[in-house]
A and B are shown apart, each in its own frame.
Chain A
Amino acid sequence: MNRATIDLWVGIFVALGLAALLVLALKVGNLASANISDTYTVQANFANIGGLKVRAPVKSSGVVVGRVAGISFDAKEYHAVVSLQIDRRYEFPRDTIPSILTSGLLGEQYIGLEVGGDPKVLKDGDTFKITQSAVVLEKLISQFLFDKAAEGEPKKPAAAGAETK
């Protein structure tokens, strides 16, 4: 086999390999969409973050506007401190409420921003005033059962009738 044929085949092979890598990066991975480069950081204090993880998306109206940069625990105030990196293109009023939400029934958790009406906007290093913690499923169920029991107590026959139906 002569030199030119080998060179041609190796060229084809390397081009194919690099093309596969490019396909993996752009079509399979999120390189094309995740290039939030210029960001500002704001803090949010939550009583409970549930299953929130670092790099979870920050969404407003369902659009990804940033990422969770870090999660730590404040041992003086006993709450979780979450720092959010938000794209500099988007500005939010100071009374915006971040809440920890779940995509789907058992999906990953993300932070949703409920936009307020303050004319002043959040700047780098600011902290959200009001936040809404993650919903813990066990607490929700126990509250539901407690409510059911409480409303069933006074008029027992009616509740029993409803159950048999």
Chain B
Amino acid sequence: MFDAVLRGLRLIGRNVIDRIWRLGYASRFFAAVLMHSGTALRRYNLTIREIYFAGVLSLIIISVSGLFVGMVLGLQGYDTLQRYGSSDSLGVLVALSLVRELGPVVAGLLFASRAGSAITAEIGLMKATEQITAMEMMAVDPIARVVAPRFWGGVISMPLLAALFSALGVFGGWLVGVVLIGVDDGSFWAQMQAAVDFRQDIVNGVIKSAVFGMAVAWIAVFEGYDAIPTAEGVSRATTRTVVTSSLAILALDFVLTAFMFRGI
């Protein structure tokens, strides 16, 4: 009985210590990536290659999702707003919800599952096939050569993808609201422009997406680098990347929103 309690307590203690150790390890890894970023940015064609894999190849899914999210917002928003006789503010609803929340968050979630998982799998597989060890043998720093370009590729791609998502979403909302349903074109844009503030809404949205991009890229490269070098370990690391970065995006979004939009 007493032994069972002790064993339970020991289990809790070991789990907590493991978590904290892992968090510290991830932070030190993050610092190492930042310190080795100089090489990655100087040899910028490495980073450009990663922007291609993380950003350009995500264009299709981001564009299509943005368009459809905007179109659904147009339909649902119109249905609710016309009950209160204010369907003219459809533009405000679509633009504010996209620029402030849906753009950064949904683009971040898509980015985590499309690009983050690919980064983890790639680095994990490099580790499993001992390419990373081989690099160390050749005195090539794997963090500078492999990890940092992937990190910066993700950080640079994410705000651009979120901006595209929001812009296409507004276009989708316009398509449904103005072209399909027949909300007045002038009041759609005029009310939107009166309500959306550049600094308060758009810049804050871009800051959000940059923070999410940094979080997703960090988690993705860390999970890949830390993966157990077996087929099962890589598959687990990929799953962890998607789960952890999705949760991180939602939690960070709450914190950032509380700081940015509490005053109004």
Residues of A in contact with B (beta carbons under 8 Å apart):
3, 6-7, 9-10, 12-14, 16-21, 23-25, 27-31, 33-34, 53, 55
Residues of A within 8 A of B157 (CB): 13
Inter-chain contact A30/B161, CB cutoff 8 Å:
no
CA distance A86 to B192 in the complex (A): 23
Inter-chain contact A25/B198, CB cutoff 8 Å:
yes
**Can you give 22 contacting A-B residue pairs, CB < 8 Å?**
A6-B48, A6-B49, A10-B52, A13-B55, A13-B59, A13-B157, A14-B160, A17-B159, A17-B161, A17-B163, A17-B164, A18-B163, A20-B164, A20-B168, A21-B160, A24-B167, A25-B198, A27-B170, A28-B202, A29-B202, A30-B197, A30-B198
Q: How far is the CB of A32 from chain B (nearest CB, A)?
A: 8
Inter-chain contact A30/B193, CB cutoff 8 Å:
yes
Secondary structure of the B side of the interface?
A: helix
CA distance A9 to B49 in the complex (A): 10
Q: How far is the CB of B106 from chain A (nearest CB, A)?
A: 15
CA distance A36 to B198 in the complex (A): 14
What residue of chain B has the Cβ atom nearest to residue A7's Cβ?
B48
Known pairs A9-B56, A20-B167, A21-B206; A28 contacts B193 (CB<8 A): yes
What residue of chain B has the Cβ atom nearest to residue A103's Cβ?
B194
Residues of B within 8 A of A16 (CB): 59, 160, 164
- Asked whether B41 is an interface residue with its Cβ less than 8 Å from the other chain, the reply is no
CA distance A6 to B99 in the complex (A): 29
Task: Please provide the 8 A-B residue pairs with the shortest distance between their CB atoms, ordered closest to farther.
Answer: A17-B160, A20-B167, A20-B163, A31-B198, A29-B198, A21-B163, A20-B164, A13-B56
Partner of A28, one of B48, B59, B196: B196
- Asked whether B189 is an interface residue with its Cβ less than 8 Å from the other chain, the reply is yes
Q: How far is the CB of A105 from chain B (nearest CB, A)?
A: 10
Mask: chain B, 180-204; 1 = CB below 8 Å from A; 0 = not: 0000000001001110111001100
Known pairs A7-B48, A30-B196, A31-B198; A18 contacts B160 (CB<8 A): yes
- Asked whether B129 is an interface residue with its Cβ less than 8 Å from the other chain, the reply is no
CA distance A5 to B49 in the complex (A): 10
- Give residues 45-59 of B contacting A (CB, 8 Å): 45, 48-49, 51-52, 55-56, 59
Inter-chain contact B56/A20, CB cutoff 8 Å:
no
What residue of chain B has the Cβ atom nearest to residue A21's Cβ?
B163
Residues of B within 8 A of A7 (CB): 48
CA distance A14 to B161 in the complex (A): 9
- Asked whether B166 is an interface residue with its Cβ less than 8 Å from the other chain, the reply is yes
Residues of A within 8 A of B49 (CB): 6
What residue of chain A has the Cβ atom nearest to residue B206's Cβ?
A21
CA distance A164 to B206 in the complex (A): 61
CA distance A17 to B163 in the complex (A): 6
Q: How far is the CB of A25 from chain B (nearest CB, A)?
A: 6
CA distance A106 to B57 in the complex (A): 46
Inter-chain contact B160/A24, CB cutoff 8 Å:
no
Inter-chain contact A20/B166, CB cutoff 8 Å:
yes
Residues of A within 8 A of B211 (CB): none
Partner of A3, one of B45, B56, B166: B45
Inter-chain contact B160/A13, CB cutoff 8 Å:
yes
Residues of B within 8 A of A33 (CB): 193
